Amino acid sequence: MDMNEIKEIFFQECEEQLAELESGLLRLNDGDRDPETVNAVFRAVHSIKGGAGAFGLDDLVSFAHVFETTLDCVRSNRLEPNQDVLKVMLKSADVLADLTNAARDGGSVDEARSRQLIKELEALANGELPQPAVSEPAAKPAPPAAPVAAPAPAPVVNEEGFQPVVFSFDDFEASEPPAIEPSTFEILFRPKSELYAKGNDATLLLRDLSRLGEMSIHCDMDELPALGSMNPEAAYFAWKISLKTDKGEEAIRSVFEFAEWDCELDVALAGGDHTGTGEEPPMQPVPFDLSLLDDDVPASSGAAEDEEQVVAQREARDDAVSAAATASNVLQMAQTARASAESNRSAAPTSSAAQAAAQQAASAATPTIRVDLDRVDRLINLVGELVINQAMLSQSVIENDTNGTSSINMGLEELQQLTREIQDSVMAIRAQPVKPVFQRMSRIVREIADMTGKSVRLVTEGENTEVDKTVIDKLAEPLTHMIRNAVDHGLETPEKRVAAGKNPEGTVRLTAKHRSGRIVIELADDGAGINREKVRQKAIDNDLIAADANLSDEEIDNLIFHAGFSTADKISDISGRGVGMDVVKRSIQALGGRINISSKPGQGSVFTMSLPLTLAVLDGMVVTVANQTLVVPLTAIVETLQPEASAIHSFGASQRLISIRNSFCPLVDVGRILNFRAIQANPVDGVALLVESEGGGQRALMVDAIQGQRQVVIKSLEANYTHVPGIAAATILGDGRVALILDVDAIVAASRGQTLKPEMSLAAAG
């Protein structure tokens, strides 16, 4: 693992933390006052800051630091997280997300915005509430000049002295004064018992001290009591040390950095050339390099070298004592954990945290593993092969087993069932809750609400509804656009709402649920609903419909999905970015989904999307075209019909229209478009599939015959072969034949080149 990989992990983690941050803030916004919620929010920002610091992402660190400081005020109950405070924090969470993205992808961020939020956050931390609604009596009013005078956003240095420094080498080692004259220090060092209780030891400190220069030491044992009355874990020894070093007093003190509170320490420069006064106790010089010592020759001691080793002593039976500690350890640890949880509960600031921790522990009880997506995809692929193989096997058994009752046949049925179950289970691995996408939407709502001056509340339901990851990934864009649309066009301004007797705050409701093997996502607003008169007029102006066309309310509503259709009188900054609802519809269709709208004047609109749960299998209609087997996605087909000769109208050299209930629809011979045959087949001999094209118009696709409907496993052609125009993918049927899956949109687009222009055809159809 190298730093780049860790950085990648960091950004993944940031995403999780940002989601955690936002959902926590939203919970607080809903009145949740569980300390663990605040803690989780704090930890999220804290963790991002920690990682960002390690990678030198200064902008991210500075912002996270200010944010964290303010959150700490909430955590320590110095700041009440009311709606106004949370508004600032939610915006800050957005900026933090932007900064994270910028750090990863190198993009830029709205510096003015982050600067502004840093100011607001600091003001909050300084006890300045955004609005006079003071809920904190103790809040000290900060002098107006005090907070942030300088407009510059960057290096934030607060009272902690914290500075976003990468790999700061500013500790004593790195900042050693290069050349100080060697001088001699007198050091008095008297440890307290706590020093030992905390796993430190005077031996370690003296070792580090000895490395600074030439050291003489005297161990003061005056405090040492008699063996019988001593506490073996208490501190009795003290030291008087004389150290000649060129590293300075700072270096000496930093040796004791960790021990500072747990010892008495006195460091003083020795006067003149250090010659101890008469009363001084004798000093033992400690060699700079202790490794020079030999254990047989205790150098300075002058003791008897010819010491007689008492050999062959009986081995003391002393093993028992040191082993005593091991036995009851497991029990002890359990008790320790419980005890510390209890002590947590009684500790002041983290009071009910333990309780919340217990809940969290319970919810975190489902163990998870992280798996590379590639592995899952490979598994899905293999299961796809298995399904096909099983179908082929079944088919050939059926063909060879005329009576159909053999045990092989029964076994095969079980195999089929098992295969289905495996397939479902494997698909479930990729299934993920729509929650992250829904969470992203709350930010979009905040932004649009800010830009339009509207007051909006986003309510989400069913965010744990699961759907294939690929679907989730592709869902964000159309949803974003729809949400923008709902707030910008759907909801009225607060004044208009009040005038209409509504709550000035509009509500946008985003719901997900499963329905008959698909996921249904609903986006409802309680705005004014679709202005049908306006839509109708616009459609007439744009030649989408004839002026006298007789359309149902639903038909009028669905006109907004036509290309280039926008009801806003002037293109607004928000929804009108040259993208209309037609794009939304197209991307939903590209996912094998459908979308429609229902609207009630004065009460709002509901967009309903229905999407497949996975993009790995597809419900298709198996058809024959020029002796080839093709699969047409079922979602694209509106209806099938058997054309009557009288309904076919020729147009120009080779174009034909089919009249369906008083309207005309271009007829497209799939076999011709795909070059399966040189001349068009006779429509009367085949079947017409009425499909909806991306422009909202309809086409009748001519095929020779319908074989049936079935669920097929999608195999990418690009991965296995090459991209084929008009073909979306391939599948393998039960009889082993490869069947191509039609790309309906591409077929329709290709048909335009040789047929009427779609606008004209629509105008004619009206």
In the region spanning residues 328 to 347, those forming contacts with other proteins, defined by CB under 8 A, are 329-330, 332-333, 336-337, 339-341, 343-344, 347
Taking the least distance from each CB to other proteins, the nearer of 300 and 716 is: 300
Residue in 19, 26, 27, 50 binding other proteins, rule: CB under 8 A: 50
For 94-119, give one letter per residue: b (16+ CB within 10 A) or e.
bbbbbbbbbbbeeeebeeeebbbbbb
Rounded Cα distance between 353 and 38, Å, is: 10
Residue 121 beta carbon to other proteins: minimum distance, rounded to whole angstroms: 17
Residue in 204, 684, 705, 760 binding other proteins, rule: CB under 8 A: 204
Residues 130, 122 contacting (CB under 8 angstroms): no
Residue 292 beta carbon to other proteins: minimum distance, rounded to whole angstroms: 10
Which one of the spans 320-328, 454-462, 486-494, 626-634 is the region binding other proteins (CB under 8 A)?
A: 320-328
Residue 38 beta carbon to other proteins: minimum distance, rounded to whole angstroms: 12
Is residue 464 close enough to count as binding other proteins by CB under 8 A? no
Contact code string over 132-161 relative to other proteins, x by CB under 8 A: ---------------------------xxx
Taking the least distance from each CB to other proteins, the nearer of 150 and 303 is: 303
Taking the least distance from each CB to other proteins, the nearer of 118 and 241 is: 241
Contacts (CB under 8 A) with other proteins, residues 272-301: 283-284, 286, 290-291, 293-295, 298-301
Residues 728, 719 contacting (CB under 8 angstroms): no
Residue 318 beta carbon to other proteins: minimum distance, rounded to whole angstroms: 6
Element (H, E) at 400: helix 373-400
Residues 621, 690 contacting (CB under 8 angstroms): no
Residue 366 beta carbon to other proteins: minimum distance, rounded to whole angstroms: 15
CA–CA distance from 571 to each of 384, 485, 575 (Å)? 47, 12, 8
Dihedral sign (CA 437, 442, 448, 451): negative
Taking the least distance from each CB to other proteins, the nearer of 44 and 588 is: 44
Taking the least distance from each CB to other proteins, the nearer of 364 and 373 is: 364
Rounded Cα distance between 52 and 6, Å, is: 11
Residue 731 beta carbon to other proteins: minimum distance, rounded to whole angstroms: 39
Residue in 31, 151, 228, 501 binding other proteins, rule: CB under 8 A: 228
Is residue 168 close enough to count as binding other proteins by CB under 8 A? yes
Residue 232 beta carbon to other proteins: minimum distance, rounded to whole angstroms: 4
Residue 290 beta carbon to other proteins: minimum distance, rounded to whole angstroms: 5
Residues 651, 683 contacting (CB under 8 angstroms): no
Residue in 15, 237, 432, 727 binding other proteins, rule: CB under 8 A: 237
DSSP-H helix ranges across 30-82 = 35-54, 58-75
Residue in 134, 140, 250, 261 binding other proteins, rule: CB under 8 A: 261
How many Cβ atoms sit within 10 Å of the Cβ of residue 628? Answer: 18
Using alpha carbons, select from 402, 371, 345 the residue that is nearest to residue 469: 371
Contacts (CB under 8 A) with other proteins, residues 347-366: 347, 350, 357, 360-361, 364
Residue in 19, 26, 54, 634 binding other proteins, rule: CB under 8 A: 54
What residues form DSSP beta bridges with 245? 183, 213
Residue 294 beta carbon to other proteins: minimum distance, rounded to whole angstroms: 8
Which one of the spans 223-231, 525-533, 620-628, 755-763 is the region binding other proteins (CB under 8 A)?
A: 223-231
Look up tokens 């997280």; give the residue. Answer: 81
Residues 299, 287 contacting (CB under 8 angstroms): yes
How many Cβ atoms sit within 10 Å of the Cβ of residue 612? Answer: 21
Residue 203 beta carbon to other proteins: minimum distance, rounded to whole angstroms: 6
Which one of the spans 222-230, 457-465, 528-536, 645-653 is the region binding other proteins (CB under 8 A)?
A: 222-230
Residues 92, 67 contacting (CB under 8 angstroms): yes
Contacts (CB under 8 A) with other proteins, residues 29-48: 39-40, 42-43, 46-47
Dihedral sign (CA 603, 607, 608, 613): negative
Residue in 110, 250, 257, 495 binding other proteins, rule: CB under 8 A: 257
Contacts (CB under 8 A) with other proteins, residues 506-565: none
Number of C-alpha atoms within 13 angstroms, CB side, residue 464? 0
Residue 472 beta carbon to other proteins: minimum distance, rounded to whole angstroms: 22
Residue in 112, 166, 410, 571 binding other proteins, rule: CB under 8 A: 166
Taking the least distance from each CB to other proteins, the nearer of 144 and 169 is: 169
Look up tokens 């914290």; give the residue. Answer: 162
Residue 102 beta carbon to other proteins: minimum distance, rounded to whole angstroms: 18
Is residue 210 close enough to count as binding other proteins by CB under 8 A? yes
Is residue 222 close enough to count as binding other proteins by CB under 8 A? no
Residue in 81, 191, 506, 758 binding other proteins, rule: CB under 8 A: 191
CA–CA distance from 618 to each of 60, 153, 232, 336, 656 (Å)? 44, 52, 76, 55, 31
Residues near 102 by beta carbon (within 8 Å), at least 6 away in sequence: 59, 108, 109
CA–CA distance from 321 to each of 187, 196, 314, 317, 318 (Å)? 38, 21, 18, 10, 6
DSSP 8-state assignment for residue 272: S
Using alpha carbons, select from 729, 747, 614 the residue that is nearest to residue 689: 747
Residues near 98 by beta carbon (within 8 Å), at least 6 away in sequence: 109, 110, 114
Residue in 203, 516, 550, 627 binding other proteins, rule: CB under 8 A: 203
Residue in 138, 149, 179, 310 binding other proteins, rule: CB under 8 A: 310
Taking the least distance from each CB to other proteins, the nearer of 364 and 547 is: 364
Residue in 108, 275, 277, 313 binding other proteins, rule: CB under 8 A: 313
Rounded Cα distance between 117 and 148, Å, is: 11
Taking the least distance from each CB to other proteins, the nearer of 110 and 342 is: 342
